[in-house]
Amino acid sequence: RAHGITNRLGFFLHIPWPPTRLLVSLPYHERLVRSLLHYDLIGFQCDEWLESFLHYCRKELGADVDESTGRITLDGRVTTARVYPIGINYELFTSYADTPEAIDAQKRVNDSTRNRSTMIGVDRLDYSKGLPERLDGITRLFENKPERVSDVVFIQIAPPSREDIASYQRIRETLEQKTGQINGAFSKIDMVPIRYVNQGHSAAELFGIYRASKIGLVTPLRDGMNLVAKEYVAAQDPDDPGVLILSRFAGAAQQLSDALLVNPYSPDELAYAIETALDMPLAERKRRWEKLEKSVREENITVWTNDFANDLRIIEADLSPPIHN
């Protein structure tokens, strides 16, 4: 805008928008948000992030905010903020079902777990994903219900991320340490409860791994949306679907409310959810999955793209004079 550009401009935020009480601790928070308000359209993943943004604009900037339309008026300029939940490429991802890679991956998981129920976690090696807390929940399950140790295998796929940053290195060290402690305490000669895989897999392989898994563990401490949850749902066998355990602090939780929603900071809550999923009758698994699958299929990446682009196309661009540095 400072260079005189008056085209319609749109911005989509993939990560959570913080509550006002946290954002104001950031130096130059007002300058940051005022700059954002020079976009014509701002998109958020879910209602919670949008509400936090509108609250900040009203409380800290004194903007005129229309909650029903997302219109924000400040200093004579109008910006619109709305929710656009991002989805997966549903048709592409489900097309992997009959590929040799997916079939082989599913078979390898099933053969290696020998009739035990597989739980799967797939995350970047990132502090926001709640991986140590996830292992704490599994530990609590094994401590409270030792008979469950022989029922399940947890596979955590965590490709390395930002390996040059010390905090990420510490996460990897913590995960390796916790995995070793759990396996040391609960393994038997012919059974290891935790498999930690520090490498990536193709989308087709992940489809097969998801389908072989009775439980999908998606428990970030905070996440804008989380597409792993949607991929897990899309990969399930309609005749024998698995159960999604999802952090209530992921944006996806607002859309996928038929998952088992948990507080990732609570080992007891996570342990209880895992046991509930293991014991869930087929009829309930099907009922929950059908609702989840419908949402994932209908709110796909094409819908997300078209909704945002169409709104940006028809929204009234603010052609106020250019700003100056």
Residues noted as catalytic: 14, 223
Short-list 254, 257, 130, CA closest to 244: 257
Q: Terminus-to-terminus CA distance in the chain, angstroms?
A: 10
How far apart are alpha carbons 158 and 175 in whole angstroms? Answer: 10
Angle, to 10 degrees, between the axis of helix 47-61 and the axis of helix 29-36?
110
Distances (CA, A) of 102 to 117, 120, 207, 231, 261: 18, 15, 6, 13, 28
CB proximity list for 74: less than 8 A, separation 6 or greater:
34, 37, 57, 61, 62, 63, 64
Decide if 42 contacts 50 (C-beta within 8 A): no
Locate tokens 């939940």: which residue?
A: 85
CB proximity list for 39: less than 8 A, separation 6 or greater:
9, 10, 11, 79
Three-state DSSP at 215 gives strand
How far apart are alpha carbons 325 and 321 in whole angstroms? Answer: 13
- Give the burial class of 49: count Cβ atoms within 10 A of its Cβ; 0-12 exposed, 13-18 middle, 19 or more buried: buried
How far apart are alpha carbons 81 and 72 in whole angstroms? Answer: 8
Give me the half-sphere count of Cα atoms (radius 13 Å) on the Cβ side of residue 168: 12
Give me the half-sphere count of Cα atoms (radius 13 Å) on the Cβ side of residue 246: 29
